[in-house]
């Protein structure tokens, strides 16, 4: 007799590790730290393994575990069509206008940087010329 059943539903979120990781991520960094501390209290290799995993997966030093995933979700939904053509057209026009403003602002900042670099270079060259005149004893510059 075979106990394998093809109609048995598979876990939606994967294995227990993935489900635990998702649950801890939803609770935030504090839950990860509490889990690590409990691991050290009950059996130190577990705490050490959790600490290593937190460092390896960059959960230890990120701002928040759950914020990163929610931001990704929101960023992807911004590109999706809503089905309302008037709103989608308005959104596309607004995004296009904002991109144009960003490009104009970046060009403005580039011109400012170039002007600052030129004025600093001109100031350097003037100071250098004055130093050379002083070293040569040119009375016209005094």
Q: In this structure, is the dihedral angle defined by the CA atoms of residues 77, 81, 84 and 88, taken in order, positive or negative? A: positive
- Conformational region of residue 2, where left means phi above 0, alpha means psi within -120 to 50, and beta covers everything else: beta
pLDDT, mean of residues 42-50:
85
Q: In this structure, is the dihedral angle defined by the CA atoms of residues 47, 28, 24 and 66, taken in order, positive or negative? A: negative
Which pLDDT score, from 0 to 100, does residue 65 have? 47
Q: What is the rounded distance in angstroms from the CA atom of residue 15 to the CA atom of residue 119?
A: 62
% pLDDT > 70, the chain: 73
Query: For the range 28-33, what are the long-range contacts, defined as Cβ-Cβ under 8 Å and sequence gap of 24 or more?
Result: 28/64, 28/65, 28/66, 29/59, 29/62, 29/64, 29/65, 32/59, 32/60, 32/65
Q: Against a cut of 0.85, is the pTM above it?
A: no
Average pLDDT of the chain?
79
pLDDT, mean of residues 94-120:
95
Give Cα separations from 123 to 15, 86, 93, 97, 134 (angstroms): 66, 55, 45, 39, 16
């Amino acid at each position: 007799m075979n106990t394998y059943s093809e109609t048995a539903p598979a876990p939606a979120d994967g294995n227990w590790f993935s489900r635990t990781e998702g649950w801890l991520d939803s609770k935030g960094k504090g839950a990860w730290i509490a889990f690590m501390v409990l691991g050290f209290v009950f059996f130190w290799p577990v705490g050490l393994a959790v600490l290593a995993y937190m460092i390896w997966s960059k959960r230890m030093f990120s701002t928040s575990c759950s914020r990163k995933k929610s931001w990704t979700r929101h960023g992807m939904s911004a590109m999706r069509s809503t089905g309302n053509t008037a709103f989608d057209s308005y959104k596309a026009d607004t995004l296009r206008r904002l991109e144009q403003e960003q490009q104009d602002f970046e060009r403005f900042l580039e011109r400012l940087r170039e002007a600052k670099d030129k004025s600093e270079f001109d100031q350097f060259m003037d100071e250098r010329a004055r130093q050379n005149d002083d070293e040569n004893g040119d009375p016209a510059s005094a």
